[in-house]
Amino acid sequence: MGRMRKMKLRKLPVWAVAVTLCAVALSRAVEQKVEHPVTAAVVERVIDGDTVVLVGGEKVRYIGVDTPELQHHPRKKVQPYAKEATEFNRRLVEGQKVRLEMDVERQDKYTRTLAYVFLEDGRFVNAELLKEGYAHLMTIPPNVRYVDLFTGLQRQARDAKRGLWGKK
């Protein structure tokens, strides 16, 4: 039988290894990229401090914030500051054109659309509610894109005793 030849592995140049690793990392990043669609809409009416109905009937729940509940049930009491939060939201968005920005999860268990809401003038509604003390932070992963911003705004409102953080 013939003599087996030993094959020598050639060393790849460092740049070739680096390019290969970058290409693999980039392809994985592209595969994992989450689309954040943006939709234009008009708010028909405000349900409460953190939920609206769009023209056409779609209900939208703001991501990352929670306002006191109005309790849409005859035997449950309205939570403190719920009316003020609802009225603030109404003044901001009712009848207004808005831009809805989605995150990873698009709907909650009640089939409401989950969104970050922006006014035509650029104001960020979710952030305004926190900044003025009408809401507190409510983070539900994986929808956490603005958690750092929201945490800072809540801290500022609390420190300044704005809204629901004020004296009782």
| Alpha-helical regions (H) of 33-124 | 82-93
Is 44 designated active site? Answer: no
Distance, C-alpha 109 to centroid of its chain? 16
Dihedral-angle region of residue 167 (phi above 0 means left; psi in -120 to 50 means alpha; beta otherwise): beta
Task: State yes or no: is 69 an active-site residue.
Answer: yes
φ and ψ of 24, to 5 deg: -65, -45
C-alpha angle 102/106/112, rounded to 5°? Answer: 110
Catalytic one of 44, 58, 69, 94:
69
Of the candidates 101, 112, 128, 132, the residue annotated as catalytic is: 112
**Annotated catalytic residue 112:** yes
Task: From the candidates 61, 101, 128, 132, give the one annotated as an active-site residue.
Answer: 61
> Any idea which residues carry the catalytic annotation?
61, 69, 112
